[in-house]
Amino acid sequence: MQPVRIGLLGLGTVGAGTVNVLTRNGAEIARRAGREIRVVHAAARDIGRRRLCPMDGIRLTADPFEVVDDPQIDVVVELIGGDDPARRLVMRAIDNSKHVVTANKALIAAHGNEIFAAARKNGVMVAFEAAVAGGIPIIKTIREGLAGNRIEWLAGIINGTGNFILTEMRDHGREFSDVLAEAQRLGYAEADPAFDVEGIDAAHKLTILSAIAFGIPLQLDKAYTEGITRITRSDVSYAEQLGYRIKHLGIARRTSRGVELRVHPTLIPERRLIASVDGVMNAILVKGDAVGATMYYGAGDGAEPTASAVVADIVDVVRTLTADPTNRVPHLAFQPDQLSDVAILPMEEVETACYLRMQAKDQLGVLADVTRILADLGISIEAIIQKEPAAGANEVPVILLTHRVLERNMNQAIARIEALGSINGKVMRIRVEHLNRDWK
Ligand code: HSE
């Protein structure tokens, strides 16, 4: 049988990793796929650059459109990233009736609905396992392995850079900016590190996970997105004193009022398994009604872990090349005419417990004022830490843990606390989740 011919867009870290994995494991992969898989045409921005993979049999071009228009190519693998020209290239590949494998989370989260509609019209597949959590096969797991479940919620550490920063701050008392610079040096961070630390990268991945978990369209614009830039070393340390760790989580949860879709720093009990996921590693907890709570752990990026997901997608595509398109696994797990229009809840409607840190003047009645504001809004306090003032200082940090409260009420409480003359500056709020098995 003819080998399946791959056109590769992007020959950077992941592109080279993909060629290396396909070369090294070629025989094993062919035994699985039933056909040999060969990269025959590739596009790279700088064709003169030294390559990190063997280039035998690969025609190299600087023009990616040449690859998507190459009539020889069966499957286009898009590893360029970003919106443009990736979107035009993928749409053109689909128009040319080529199957597509992509690692592009931003593209799928923002334009997936349109891309999948075009793919259905042309009878081709668009596979995107590598777009979420690098080497962890989380898309396949939720879409196929958990297909018998009603997924109740998922919560994940889905940005390695952010997790690396929080881990270093906790383990070595380092400052945020210092660790971020190291993450950039080590190549973990996105081209624009704001994507990592402001939660945008995690929002892309969470949007994709929520769609396949709940059978809803991709709705990136409805995801609440908050980064980790305001977390201080002292927050990390107070959280620890209270028995929690701070993790930057993406949470998607089905409630009776709608779907919660949110990325924010979160205090989680230190005894949870996911609280021990450190450094650049990723982990995703998925709760299904039948299976219960499950957790998936692994490398969230890197050349070969990401290539592992890309190659698995290529194998999937090759296996179904001859299958009737209507019998393929749907892109978003649910049949396209069965997507639900359940609303994504505005953040004000979401209920979480909260950690609050504020700078209070060391004077009579300050704590009473703060606790009265909370009580007036029906917010119950679970724990308080008040530190002694440092020598010569007349302000003290006050840390409060609350029970679960509607975000709208907490917003009001924070505004009122910040308006007190005895409170200096802004109140730091970090949401708290216990991730209990019985969290519905
Ligand atoms: N910058 C991303 C991260 C890379 O840190 O997780 C993988 O998507």
173 and 287 both lie in a single domain: yes
Predicted confidence (pLDDT) per residue in 34-71, tens digit = 999 999 999 999 998 999 999 999 999 999 999 999 99
Give 387 Cα–ligand 1 centroid separation in angstroms: 37
Number of independent structural domains in the chain: 3
Distance CA(300)–CA(200), nearest Å, equals 15
Query: In whole angstroms, how far apart are CA 169 and each of 163, 164, 180, 205?
Result: 10, 9, 10, 24
397 and 261 both lie in a single domain: no
> How high is the pLDDT of residue 165?
96
Dihedral sign, Cα of residue 318, residue 324, residue 327, residue 332:
positive
164 and 285 both lie in a single domain: yes
> How high is the pLDDT of residue 322?
81
Catalytic residues: 205
User: Which whole number is the average pLDDT over 341-358?
Assistant: 98
Cα dihedral value 229, 233, 234, 235, nearest 10: 50
Give 214 Cα–ligand 1 centroid separation in angstroms: 24
Give 152 Cα–ligand 1 centroid separation in angstroms: 26
Strands 99-102 and 75-78, by their bridges, are parallel
276 and 396 both lie in a single domain: no
Amino acid, single-letter form, for residue 282: N
Rounded to the nearest integer, the mean pLDDT of the chain is 96
* Domain contains 259: yes
Predicted confidence (pLDDT) per residue in 211-266, tens digit = 999 999 999 999 999 999 999 999 999 999 999 999 999 999 999 999 999 999 99
Predicted confidence (pLDDT) per residue in 279-311, tens digit = 999 999 999 999 999 999 999 999 999 999 999
User: Which whole number is the average pLDDT over 92-105?
Assistant: 98
> How high is the pLDDT of residue 366?
93
3-state class of 214 per DSSP?
helix
* Domain contains 343: no
* Ligand 1 pocket, mutate which of 190, 207, 282 (most atoms under 8 A from CB): 190
> How high is the pLDDT of residue 326?
83
Q: Is the CB of 104 inside a 6 Å radius of any atom of ligand 1?
A: no
* Ligand 1 pocket, mutate which of 105, 107, 284, 301 (most atoms under 8 A from CB): 301
Q: Is the CB of 302 inside a 6 Å radius of any atom of ligand 1?
A: no
* Domain contains 440: no
91 and 115 both lie in a single domain: yes
Predicted confidence (pLDDT) per residue in 364-407, tens digit = 899 999 999 999 999 999 999 988 888 888 899 999 999 999 99
Give 89 Cα–ligand 1 centroid separation in angstroms: 23
* Domain contains 344: no
Task: Ligand 1, residue 282: give the atom nearest the CA.
Answer: 6
Distance CA(95)–CA(88), nearest Å, equals 10
